[in-house]
Amino acid sequence: MKFRGKIVDVACLNHFTRVVSTISKLTKTCALRLTPDHLFFVLCGKVASGGVAMWCELAQANIFDEYQMEGVSSQDNEICLEVTPENIFRALRTVHNAKSVKVKLTKKHCPCLTVAAELPTMSSVNRVVTHDVPVDVIPRRLWHEFKEPSLPDFDVSVYLPPLKTMKNVVDRMKNLSNFLVVEANLSGQMTLKIETDLVSVTTHFKDLGNPHWGDRTSQDGGSQSPRDLDAMAQARVDIRKLQQFLVGQQVNPSRAICNIVHQTVLHLILLHQDVSLQYFIPALA
């Protein structure tokens, strides 16, 4: 089991740092799966994490200039680690101006992801800094927990409004309530609602557009029975979970999508070039 990757391009380094930063806002620990072509940050929806699940996928070729890995075996050519994204983020952040950064799996006092960076200096010799971020190796028998979640059979799929606007609204609503109702329909409308003893606030977004999922999803599944375009599907969620997701706006996604399974789950997707981030927030009663 071996892994080494090297980043030379500053834009790639910044991009990777932002992705890891976003992940670190979403979860304290998660699994990092390394395959020959991809990196996956995975959080499975356990009760301990409030049922929230996350799946983030990056194509290694778009980040690393060099990328070498050897998995557990030739059949299972993959490495699965439990990581603390915050630590990886801290390591990457201090080397933001590096000429090159290597990320390696190393054996120190314990298995570590080592971030080694060459920093520019005034002298002829570069400054080198290494951060050893302890990780746990996830044994093969537990890998099945970290598979890509299947696309839920959603009732409504809608593009999200500009995340900054949405974040402002959700931040204020968070001051007023702990729960928020997200509603959307197939006419490109979405509303965010809170209601307490003191106040009710409803924000209406319109003309958002509804993505066409084509044959990717169960077109002929349950949601296929022609749905009233104006009928709202809704999910009541923990407002903090949504707030955490919206921090992801720093990734500058080119597409942001919200899928709702009525009163069951809110499925949020951010797409940015090669990176996709999926986030599942379970609906509360």
Partner 1 sequence: MPLLMQSQSDDDQYVLVATLDNARNLSNILKAIAFKDHAIFTATPNGLRVTVEDSKCLQANAFIQAAIFQEFTIKEDLVGLQINLTVLLDCLSIFGGSTVPGTSTALRLCYKGYGHPLTLFLEEGGVVTVCKINTQEPEEPIDFEFCSSNVTNKVILLSESLKEAFSELDMTSEVLQITMSLSQPYFRLSTFGNAGSAHYDYPKDSDMMELFHCTTTQTNKYKMSLLKPSTKALALSSKVSVRTDSRGVLSLQYLVRNDDGQICFVDYYCCPDEEADDE
Partner 2 sequence: MDCVVTGGNVKVLAKAIHSLSRIGDELYIEPQEGPGLALRCVNSSRSAYGCFLFSPLFFSRYIVPNGIAFRCRMSIKSVQAVFRSLASLEKTVEKCHIHLDKQKDRLTFTLHCKYGLLRTHNLSFQDSETLQAVFDKNSCKNVFRANPRLLVDTVAHFPPSMEEVTLSVSDERMWLRNHVDEELGDSSAMLTELFLVSDEFDHFAVQAHTSITFCLKELRGLLFFAENTGLPISMYFDEPGSPLVLSVSDSILEGDFVLATLSDDTRNDTRRGDTPPARPPDDFMNDDMDSYLIAMDTSIAPGPSTTDSTSSKQQVVANHRTRLHSEEEEEAETAEKDGPPNKKFCSLLFGSVLPLSSQMSTQPVSNQEVLASDSDDDTQID
Applying CB under 8 A, the residues found at the interface with partner 1 are 161, 164-165, 168-169, 171-173, 175-176, 197-207
- Total chain residues near partner 2 (CB under 8 A): 49
Distance, CA of 37 to chain centre: 18
Query: Which residues does residue 261 pair with via DSSP β-bridges, in sequence order?
Result: 265
CA 199/CA 62 separation, integer angstroms: 47
The helix or strand, by DSSP H or E, that contains position 83, with its residue range, turns out to be strand 79-83
Cβ pair 199, 176 in contact under 8 A: yes
Q: Report residue 275 CA to chain centroid gap.
A: 9
Chain-centroid distance, C-alpha 11: 19
Binding of residue 50 to partner 2 (CB under 8 A):
no
Q: Is 155 in the site for partner 2 (CB under 8 A)?
A: no
Work out which of 50, 51, 111, 152 binds partner 2, going by CB under 8 A: 111
Task: Mark 65-104 with x for binding to partner 2 (rule: CB under 8 A) and - for no binding.
Answer: ---x-x-x-------x-x-x--x--xx--xx----x-x-x
CB of 241 closer than 8 Å to CB of 52:
yes
94 binds, among partner 2, partner 1, none (CB under 5 to 8 A by kind): partner 2
Q: Minimum distance from CB of 118 to partner 1 (Å)?
A: 39
Q: How far, in Å, CA of 214 to CA of 151, rounded?
A: 13
CB of 62 to partner 2, least distance (A): 22
The answer to whether the CB of 246 falls within 8 A of the CB of 170 is: yes
* Least Cβ distance, residue 108 to partner 2 (angstroms): 7
Q: Which of 49, 126, 218, 276 is the binder for partner 2 (CB under 8 A)?
A: 126
- The amino acid that residue 91 corresponds to is A
CA separation, residue 135 to residues 90, 95, 147, 167 (Å): 15, 20, 20, 32
| Binding test (CB under 8 A) with partner 2, winner from 39, 112, 173, 235 | 112
Cβ of residue 185: shortest distance to partner 1, in angstroms? 16
Q: What residues make contact with partner 2 under the rule CB under 8 A?
A: 1-4, 68, 70, 72, 80, 82, 84, 87, 90-91, 94-95, 100, 102, 104-112, 114, 116, 118, 121-134, 136-141
